[in-house]
A and B are shown apart, each in its own frame.
Chain A
Amino acid sequence: MDKQSIIELNQLGLADLHIHSCLSPCADLYMSPRFIAKNAVERGLKMAALTDHNSSQNCPAFKYECEKVGIVPLFGMELNTKEEIHVLCITDQLERALAFDKIVSEKISKFENDPLVFGDQPVVNEKEEILYQIPYYLGNAVNISIDHIWDYLDPNHWLIIPSHINRQRNSLITNLGFIPELPFDAVEVAKANDDGRKMWGNYIVVRNSDMHRLDF
C-alpha cells in the first residue's frame, strides 16, 4: 500500500479517510455504502475510507459501490482501544479488513445494543438490503492497547492514525494526556479548534470529514 500517496491525496482534499456508515450506532440510517460512494463523487473525492466503530462489516458493499462510481475504496475501522482512544485503522485490502474485524469482534467488551438508546447497527448488502444487525454495542472499548495495535496489523498494509486528537473525548491527548512515541502514520485533527498546523510534534496532520450524516 502506498501510504505516502494516500496521505498526500488527503492533504489535497481528495481522500477522506474517516467516514461512518449506518453500521455505526451514532450515524444516520441513510448512510448506506451506496449513499456514501455517491456522496464521495459529489464531493469531488478520488478515494474514501469506510471506518465504522469497531467493525468493517459494511466494507464488502462499500467496495462494490465505490468501484461502480469510480472511487478508490479503503477499508478498516475506527478502533476504540483499551484506553478508549479512537484510532483509524485503514487498509486497501478488503480481506485484511475482514480478518481484523474478526479479531476485534472477539476482543470487544460485549454489551447488548439497545437501538433506542444508541441507534441501529445494520449490515447492508450492495442492494441496500439489511442483512442483519450487530447485536452488541459497537461503541465499546476493545481489549487491544494502543501500544499493541501493531501486534495485529502489519504496517506495510495498514495506515494507523489516531482520530481527532484535539477533541475532548476518546482522543489520544485527552485520554492519555500526551502523545506516546508510536509508529503512527499521521494524526487526525478535528475541525473544531483546528489551528491549521501541518505537523503535530513529529506527526503529519490529516483532516477528514468524520461524517456520520450529511451535515458533518
Chain B
Amino acid sequence: MKISDLVKVSELTLVQPDYEDAPVSAGYTSDLLSDVMANASEAGVLITIQAHKNTLAVCKLLEIHSLIICNGRETDDEFMSIAKRERVAVFVTDLNQFQASVLIGQML
C-alpha cells in the first residue's frame, strides 16, 4: 500500500495533498513523541492527536510521510506549511486513535 491509497478512505480527509507518495507497510500510534522517535522507524503512517510542528520534526527524522490527526483536532497554518515543505501528507479524521489504527490495520 502507498500513501495515495489512504486518500480513498472515506473517514480520512486529506488536508495537505503535497506529499511524497511513500510505501506504507506499517503504522504507529502514539501521542508521546519521544516514544514515536524510539519505536516508529518502520512506520509509514503516524496516527496521533499531536498536530504541531514538533510532530513534523519527528516525521522528518524518521522519514514518515503521512500523518493522521485524530479526534478532529485542528491544524494551524504553520503546521500545514511545514508539512507541505517536508512533503508529509496530513489527513484529519473524527475517528479516535484506536478506531483509525483498526481502520488502517485492516488495509495493510
Contacts and interface: CB of A to CB of B under 8 A. Distances in A.
To the question of whether A and B form a pair in one complex, the answer is yes
Interface of A: 82-83, 145-147, 173-178, 180
Contacts of B52: 82-83, 145, 147
Interface string B23-36: 00000000011111
A82 B50 CA distance: 8
B54 A180 contact: yes
B1 interface: no
Contacts of A174: 32, 34
Chain B CB count within 10 A is highest, among A82, A177, A178, for: A177
B38 interface: yes
A29 B53 CA distance: 38
Interface in B8-62: 32-38, 50, 52-54, 57-58
A145 B73 CA distance: 13
Nearest to B76: A145
Interface of B: 32-38, 50, 52-54, 57-58
Contacts of A173: 34
Nearest to A81: B52
Nearest to B38: A177
A22 B34 CA distance: 32
A153 to B, nearest CB: 18
Nearest to B37: A177
Contacts of A178: 37, 57
Contacts of B37: 177-178
Contact of A147 (B36, B50, B53, B58): B53
B34 A83 contact: no
Contact of A83 (B36, B38, B50): B50
A175 B33 contact: yes
A176 B33 CA distance: 5
9 contacts: A83-B50, A147-B52, A175-B34, A176-B33, A176-B54, A177-B33, A177-B34, A177-B35, A177-B36
Nearest to A168: B34
A180 to B, nearest CB: 6
Nearest to A177: B34
A86 to B, nearest CB: 14
A83 B33 CA distance: 9
A83 B52 CA distance: 8
A82 B53 CA distance: 11
A147 B58 CA distance: 15
A180 B52 CA distance: 13
